A and B are shown apart, each in its own frame.
Chain A
Amino acid sequence: MEILKVEDLRVEIEGREVLKGVNFSLKAGEKLIIVGDNGSGKTTLAETLMGFIKPKGGKIVFKGKELKEEKDFKEMRREVGYCFQNPEDQLFCPTVEEEIAFAPLALGRGRERAERLVEELLKGFQIEHLRRRPTHKLSGGEKRIVSVAAVLAMEPEILILDEPTLGLDRKRFELLASFLKETERGIILITHERELINHLNWKFLKLES
């Protein structure tokens, strides 16, 4: 069954048409790569899917329900994780472990589950040593990986990742690539990374400028 469906999406920003005729769908656990030139609207598409930009036309359907108002998107955002292109925007908690625990606690999923997720993700991404570090003092690559871990702690059905490998070192790049390959979650991946695209070999959507 299709979990997310986008039909003939049209987006305008300040009178300029950024997206037109975007169509795709995603089944549970399905993966999609979005590619396109700079300024072709990849991030705009992600933000429209999350409800931060109001489309001019078309439909976004999540789990059979068309998303029209803010409350529909709010509900959807509990199940769809979005990892921003700039990790600096994503991290707002005092320490790494609190950053990861934020979503499960804020979504009312219980302390035990939050603790379990923190441990799993810190271990999974090999960032246990960063546990008590202030998020604003991390390096660019560390911020990137922590922001992915923080979104994964939501245990989302679909994960939207905007350029998640930007600025990562080789080790972390491979770690993230193998996570993406193995995970059973639905993923929408926005990337320019040719190596990653070849490695994953998923279906892709190309946005034309």
Chain B
Amino acid sequence: MVESLDPRFKILSFLFLAWAIALSSLKESLAFLPTVLLLSLPLIKKLRELWKTILFADSFLLLVVLSQLFIGSPQVALEVFVRSNLILLLSLSLLMTTPTFELLHALHHLKVPNSLLQVAFLTYRYLYEVKDRYLKSLKSAKCKGFSPRTDSFTYKTYASVIGSLITYSFLKADRVYKAMECRGFSGYFPVFRHFKATVKDFIFIVASIIYGAIVLWRF
């Protein structure tokens, strides 16, 4: 169900819930747990990816929790751990159930500056391409007998690969801009498919707000 929600409503609801969780005590944040788990249900299909992301984020969180354990109180450490993980899970269920371009489109409707969104859009669009290019260059080097060692030849090879990547990115940016100009680009990206809010989107946002308010108020 979460996947099919209008991204604009999804962002607003998730932002509100994240804000409510951030304000909550340990008891209150545990009351948010069932909802967060319910919203994260679609992520079961990507369990491996989800675990990897959570573990990666938690490795940083661990430093904060440990410092609280030794300097502050265990209660605060636990609160920080629970709240951060709930917000993390909530953010992941938003990010992993909404295509990036739809997310950016929704942010445009929520009045995020256009130039910022264009930078984010183009970065996302070409990040994979640069990564592909990097991997291809390395593959090509390996096909020519290169095997990484801790010697100057290896460092030189990596420097050449990265250097060619920078040149490639620069030339690519120029070519893409030309292509955009050729097709009438004048500073904004027109969107072909627009969002259509339905009753279920309104129900979702109202339910999220009521739920968050009740938890904060009752517990």
Contacts and interface: CB of A to CB of B under 8 A. Distances in A.
B110 interface: no
A89 B175 contact: yes
Contacts of A68: none
A81 interface: yes
A111 B82 CA distance: 47
B129 A92 contact: no
Contact of B125 (A50, A52, A92, A150): A92
Interface residues of A, number: 31
Nearest to B129: A136
A187 interface: no
Contacts of B121: 94
Contact of A106 (B175, B176, B184): B184
Contacts of B183: 81, 102-103, 106-107, 150-151, 154
B182 A105 contact: no
B125 A102 contact: no
A89 B192 contact: no
Nearest to A91: B179
Contacts of A92: 122, 125, 176, 179-180
Given A89-B172, A136-B128, A105 B181 contact: no
Interface residues of B, number: 25
A48 interface: no
B195 interface: no
A93 B180 CA distance: 10
Interface in B121-169: 121-122, 125, 128-129
B129 A89 contact: no
A160 to B, nearest CB: 9
Nearest to A78: B184
Contacts of A82: 182
Given A105-B190, A118-B192, A86 B175 contact: yes
A142 interface: no
B186 interface: yes
B184 A84 contact: no
Interface of A: 50, 52, 74, 77-78, 81-82, 84, 86, 88-95, 97-98, 101-103, 105-107, 114, 118, 136, 150-151, 154
Interface of B: 99, 101, 121-122, 125, 128-129, 172, 175-176, 178-186, 188-193
26 contacts: A50-B178, A77-B181, A77-B184, A78-B184, A84-B179, A86-B175, A92-B179, A92-B180, A93-B189, A94-B101, A95-B101, A97-B192, A97-B193, A98-B193, A101-B190, A101-B192, A102-B184, A102-B190, A102-B192, A103-B183, A105-B190, A106-B188, A106-B190, A118-B192, A151-B182, A154-B184
